[in-house]
Structure 1
Amino acid sequence: MKGPWFARNLRKWAKAYIEDRDNLPVHLYGSSATSRIDDEGFAAEIQLHLQSIGKFIRALDIVHYLSDPEVQKRHGLKKTVSLATAQRWMKKLGYRWKKEPKGQYSDGHEREDVVYYRQHIFLPAWANLQSRMRIWEHNNVNIEEIRSHTTRRVVVWFHDESTFYANDRRKLRWVHIAEGAVPQPKGEGASIMVAHFISADYGWLQSPDGKETARILFKAGKNRDGYYTSEEILKHTKQAMDILDKYYPDDEHVFVFDNATTHVKRADDALSARKMPKAPSQGWGVEVTVTNDDGQPLYGPNGKPMKRKVPMAPGRLHDGCLQPLYFPEGHLKAGWFKGMGQILEERGYDKEWVRKLRAQCGKNFNCLPGARDCCCRRVLFNEPDFVNVESRLETFCRERDFSVLFLPKFHCKLNFIEQCWGFAKRVYCHYPPSSKEVDLERNVITALDSVPLESHQETGEVLTKVYLALYILIILEMALISIILLVRKMMLDNRCFS
């Protein structure tokens, strides 16, 4: 379809032909015309202007930009372009009118701290456990390979949550030509969240007869069961540990959680230099939410959660001794918080140097990259006891001789329970639709029970091999770097000797 300009010309040509039968429009075959957008400098300026606007740009932005007299003077324009021209230029600049592309993962999985945790903590820990895990024959997952074990066998339990919706049903099917349209329900409907543990050894975490299970059905929402907080995670983990202690006491159990904030949450009084004052302070403590016996927050008359202050837990000196952060009884400032300056002095830092050191860099703790002693807060952040603070979940499990391993951030899909959720949801979508929560709960449980143990073992075996392969690659990479550094040193030594 042509635009308004072509329509005006047709009208003009038609009137001219009616008045003079010899006045025919001439088409200049073989002639070429170049567009202004083909000028690289002009196109780059338009592109730069569009980038300065942000994500949601329009072709009309080009029209408005070229309406500026200064822009017209700079490029020799007498007027701006039409909207149709601007739309054609958008295509030439590489833009397309379509839905925003979606990716599965965030780019943060290659962040420096994430890479370090994955390479130096998670994968080595997994490689250490792998030698004591069960493995199955490649062609038959029902047959376990015989391996000699001098210690207890390790069973890894993966934890995760998933939500099932009442209106989550099949959308494609054979529809008869005579079948009429049926109104579809709005929204996703009633929902139920499932939290569970699974292993390649035993499947879903439950007793051998299936009567006791670690499965949690949770109706998330403000006016329902609330939200799945860290308190709920601890209760769920306790339920899992009780079952394992009762029915599987001969195995060594390891829980694997993703790196969600509810999982890695530290104790309320855990060490943190984030808000510490540098000088001694009376009444300083950690502000925590007041909760009832069930761990639920208590609310004040204003509708907001009630808060109270508690003392921060003591630190640990380099020799392993505890370091109280508050002055003891009998001191002139008994009960006062010591302040970062005093804490650093007790750790052996020079008194004069600490006094000259500022509390933190800038209002937002903006230390230069790689800095370690630029301010009191940064020095404390790098102290071993401040760095290696356990999460509540780790402490809770360690007290009962269970281990915890967190997946690297942004790597939640490495959790093979995701494949089991997918299997269960595929089965769930075939059940008759119902908005009743009783039917929803029954369908969810039936779908989860339909996941066969063989699929757990196949997926777990593949995942174990992937983890081990990554760890081997890390070792090879470190060996290669060491060889390169050694060769470089030998070359320098030979050059100096010559």
Structure 2
Amino acid sequence: MGWSHSSEKATPQCKGEGPSLMISDMLTSEWGQLQHGDKCVSQFAALHEIMLTAGKNQDGYFSALDLLKHVEHSINIFEDKTNGFTTGLFMFDNAPSHQKQAPDALSAWKMPKRPHQNWTHHKDGPHMWNSTFNSQSQEFYYCDDHPTMPGWFKGMETIFREWNLWPATGLNAQCEGFKCFYFHWPFLYANQSAHFISAYVQGLTGGKAAWANHQYHGHHTLPPSMILKVKEALRKD
């Protein structure tokens, strides 16, 4: 990795096997790297230039919890640098680890229309926190001493009715015919086919290729390290 002039053209290079270099840092338009004195974000012990072999069957991934620790450390550095007199705006891309919500965050995803005894947004998760409408708080769950539904989720209809927003004609929980095309199935098939083609090209056949594809779910081609794992496993057998 290096710097090049904007007029230079990039030459495509084959992706090689090896650890993925993961660097977690905060950059600012005015100061460059976010730092204050001898404190800088990349010196955060748990996140300093993380190097790992990313993957489900490898070293895992940089998680949302890691990101939260990083942001907390970044805010502390920002507060020290500005003496608490400046408001900072931290911006992130839409990577999955940046989209995680609190376990009890509000969400209408798969919310039932009717009251439900055990419904939570996440299986065995906590109750969602209260919502706010017209500056007034609203609980989504009945109180624990409710005579017939203690602690139950109220359901969307009841939530609307409590604000007199439920129309006389009623509402569907979702639009009629709301069926999306499962576009990911063709992509999964294409990706798996590419894996098998890569395995065949590198000398694997039949069950060997199937075993390698079961172990590796990354890019379209099997890395040389995976081929070596297959051959080592066969030698042990």
- The TM tier, using the shorter chain, reads 0.5 to 0.7
Residue equivalent to 2:103? 268
Residue equivalent to 1:234? 68
Residue equivalent to 1:251? 86
Partner amino acid for 1:335?
G
- Check 1:329–1:190 CA distance in 2 against 1; reply closer, same or farther (3 A cut): closer
Give the whole-Å Cα distance in 1 for the aligned partners of 2:69 and 2:177. 39
Give the Å deviation of 1:258.
1.8
Residue equivalent to 2:142? 327
Structure 1 gap segments, 5+ residues each = 1-163, 166-170, 173-184, 289-307, 367-498
- Check 1:230–1:364 CA distance in 2 against 1; reply closer, same or farther (3 A cut): farther
Give the whole-Å Cα distance in 2 for the aligned partners of 1:248 and 1:192. 31
1:33-432 equivalences under 5 Å are 187-208=16-37, 211-215=38-42, 216-220=48-52, 221-222=54-55, 226-249=60-83, 250-287=85-122, 308-318=124-134, 320-331=135-146, 332-350=148-166, 352-354=168-170, 357-362=171-176, 364=178
Give the Å deviation of 1:252.
2.9
Give the whole-Å Cα distance in 2 for the aligned partners of 1:335 and 1:230. 30
Give the Å deviation of 1:341.
0.8
Partner amino acid for 2:145?
G
Partner amino acid for 1:343?
I
Give the whole-Å Cα distance in 1 for the aligned partners of 2:120 and 2:98. 24
After superposition, give the CA deviation of every residue in 1:448-480 in whole Å (9 maximum; x if it has no partner). xxxxxxxxxxxxxxxxxxxxxxxxxxxxxxxxx
- Check 1:338–1:243 CA distance in 2 against 1; reply closer, same or farther (3 A cut): same
**SS of aligned partner of 2:27:** strand
**SS of aligned partner of 2:26:** strand
Partner amino acid for 2:115?
P
Give the Å deviation of 1:315.
1.5
Give the Å deviation of 1:329.
3.2
- Check 1:364–1:217 CA distance in 2 against 1; reply closer, same or farther (3 A cut): farther
- Check 1:187–1:342 CA distance in 2 against 1; reply closer, same or farther (3 A cut): same
Give the whole-Å Cα distance in 1 for the aligned partners of 2:107 and 2:15. 47
Partner amino acid for 1:206?
Q
Give the whole-Å Cα distance in 2 for the aligned partners of 1:191 and 1:317. 46
- Off by >6 Å, runs of 4+ in structure 1: none
**SS of aligned partner of 2:98:** helix
Is the CA contact (8 Å cut-off) linking 2:19 and 2:51 kept in structure 1? no
**SS of aligned partner of 1:255:** coil
- Check 1:364–1:265 CA distance in 2 against 1; reply closer, same or farther (3 A cut): farther
Give the Å deviation of 1:205.
1.2
Is the CA contact (8 Å cut-off) linking 1:218 and 1:225 kept in structure 2? no
Give the Å deviation of 1:330.
3.0
Give the whole-Å Cα distance in 1 for the aligned partners of 2:79 and 2:172. 51
Structure 2 gap segments, 5+ residues each = 3-9, 43-47, 181-237
**SS of aligned partner of 1:286:** coil
Partner amino acid for 2:64?
S
Is the CA contact (8 Å cut-off) linking 1:193 and 1:217 kept in structure 2? yes
- Check 1:201–1:358 CA distance in 2 against 1; reply closer, same or farther (3 A cut): closer
Residue correspondences, number: 162
Residue equivalent to 1:145? none
Is the CA contact (8 Å cut-off) linking 2:104 and 2:125 kept in structure 1? no
Percent sequence identity is 33
After superposition, give the CA deviation of every residue in 1:421-464 in whole Å (9 maximum; x if it has no partner). xxxxxxxxxxxxxxxxxxxxxxxxxxxxxxxxxxxxxxxxxxxx
Give the whole-Å Cα distance in 2 for the aligned partners of 1:191 and 1:276. 39
Partner amino acid for 1:230?
A
Give the Å deviation of 1:233.
1.2
Residue equivalent to 1:86? none
After superposition, give the CA deviation of every residue in 1:251-303 in whole Å (9 maximum; x if it has no partner). 33221222333223322222222211111111111225xxxxxxxxxxxxxxx
- Check 1:226–1:248 CA distance in 2 against 1; reply closer, same or farther (3 A cut): farther
Higher relative contact order (CA 8 A, sep 6+): 1
Residue equivalent to 2:219? none
- Check 1:204–1:282 CA distance in 2 against 1; reply closer, same or farther (3 A cut): same
Give the Å deviation of 1:240.
0.9
Partner amino acid for 1:360?
Q
Larger Rg: 1
Partner amino acid for 2:86?
D
Is the CA contact (8 Å cut-off) linking 1:219 and 1:226 kept in structure 2? no
